[in-house]
Structure 1
């Protein structure tokens, strides 16, 4: 079986019955040379994010529209992005430098020009890898790493999800379950995007897997409700919320320089 028509059942824990019927199926892919880091998406376009560059492509035929290069502006490690009301919000970090520092870089997707920034400076939670918005709040993934990339004696277990209000004031935070931090090691949580029904889909750095999580009813650990084998290699992902009635996942496969589109049912 190839990934072209990948259909596989969600592997569940006994308590994950709310996802028992979910499957994932690849429905389209695009050959994109710079597909190495992450993807963002809106109604008509997808955006390939690769450290210092962002490239805008048409969904219909994969045609390149334009690119932005932040090398001269000192942008070295854009991790991922999300498009909200004509603006793209990108997770930016100084990875693999220590101490970890992070910011959110903002772009106008119509002009593909840099439009703003919010700096976390030396972020107490780690290295910012992904950002999304849900229910009017910001949800941000902060990574920690193992080995030489570990910060101040911390390791992957310190990786967390942090919730902010619209003015970037911290409200709550959660840690990832042990089984996922072990899968992330020696890297970390690289991507995240909210789907339907309060399900948060996350990725690691390399594995061809998508992890479904929910906020816990109590406590501080995210609830891992299942794992989807997927035609990606970790990294930044995006749920296409313009696809009404469907849950479409955009991701990348670095080995083949592919942008993949899959439907989660």
Structure 2
């Protein structure tokens, strides 16, 4: 009788802990594509996905993963593209000089039809490396990463990682810190990918752990509020939610060690 009560207590405690951690959803793989090179992240639109590498891009069909376009930086001016988001017929890629210091960042803009480079917006020196950006409700939302393994270089660790809200014309409006438990999951790195998802929630990843961290803006204060963690098949790095699909939550992630783009559904 005592053993049965002990087991029941353990089950109850496990459920409580799981609830507090935010688990309950998971990402289930539905397909994967192995490509020649997958380094930093992936973006997606209605018909194609786009692989972001340090200084190159490739465009692929969503049905077969067939490469239909490619772009390479021939100027030597781009060092470390991190992530991308498709808005209309433009692919906006975040770029930084990581691991150089002082940290500097820019957004590089491409035509999704041809992958031709069509624009740039420089942030110059900024207290962090730009790793992801999204456009939501008329504003730009940009993450600037700091790294604990680079703390000695500029006196900051990953606690200085910041989400910044800009106007459509890139005027800085507000900014938020990341919650301590998420920073611990990132450590010693920082956030590598992020986007706005359903119900005004922010989804982000770290550098390598197979997890999505779900956050929301706080009602008051200066720190994003942790909601839950979703286990994934793909690792950290930049990912994309397929907004062309309304009936379910499909996202594209990557695994760098074997050059896969992995398509999953959050259930």
Q: Does structure 2 conserve the Cα–Cα contact (< 8 Å) formed by 1:177 and 1:221?
A: yes
TM-superposed CA distance for 1:21, in Å, is: 5.8
When the two structures are aligned, how many residues end up with a matched partner? 250
Deviations along 1:73-129, whole A, 9 cap, x unmatched?
4111000000000000110000000000000000001121001010000013x1000
Is 2:44 the partner of 1:41?
A: yes
Q: Does structure 2 conserve the Cα–Cα contact (< 8 Å) formed by 1:12 and 1:225?
A: no
Q: Match for residue 167 of structure 1? A: 169
Q: Does structure 1 conserve the Cα–Cα contact (< 8 Å) formed by 2:142 and 2:164?
A: yes
Cα distance, 1:150–1:258 mapped onto 2, change above 3 Å: farther
Structure with larger Rg: 2
Q: Indicate the SS of the match to 1:141.
A: strand
Q: Match for residue 8 of structure 2? A: none
TM-superposed CA distance for 1:150, in Å, is: 5.0
Trace 1:1-265 onto structure 2 (pairs within 5 A). Answer: 12-13=19-20, 22-124=25-127, 126-148=128-150, 150-265=152-267
Deviations along 1:1-39, whole A, 9 cap, x unmatched?
xxxxxxxxxx5427x6xxx76342111111112112100
TM-superposed CA distance for 1:71, in Å, is: 4.0
Q: TM-score of the superposition, structure 1-length normalised?
A: 0.90
Q: Does structure 2 conserve the Cα–Cα contact (< 8 Å) formed by 1:144 and 1:150?
A: no
C-alpha distance in 2 between matches for 1:79 and 1:150: 23
Deviation >3 Å, runs of 4+: 20-23, 148-151
Q: Does structure 2 conserve the Cα–Cα contact (< 8 Å) formed by 1:100 and 1:151?
A: no
TM-superposed CA distance for 1:255, in Å, is: 2.2
C-alpha distance in 1 between matches for 2:249 and 2:123: 31
Which segment is superposed worse, 20-29 or 156-165?
A: 20-29
User: What stretches of structure 1 of length at least 5 have no aligned partner?
Assistant: 1-10
Q: Indicate the SS of the match to 1:36.
A: coil
C-alpha distance in 1 between matches for 2:125 and 2:93: 17
Which segment is superposed worse, 42-51 or 142-151?
A: 142-151
Cα distance, 1:183–1:109 mapped onto 2, change above 3 Å: same
Q: Indicate the SS of the match to 1:13.
A: helix
Q: Does structure 1 conserve the Cα–Cα contact (< 8 Å) formed by 2:217 and 2:224?
A: yes
Name whichever structure is richer in helix by fraction: 2
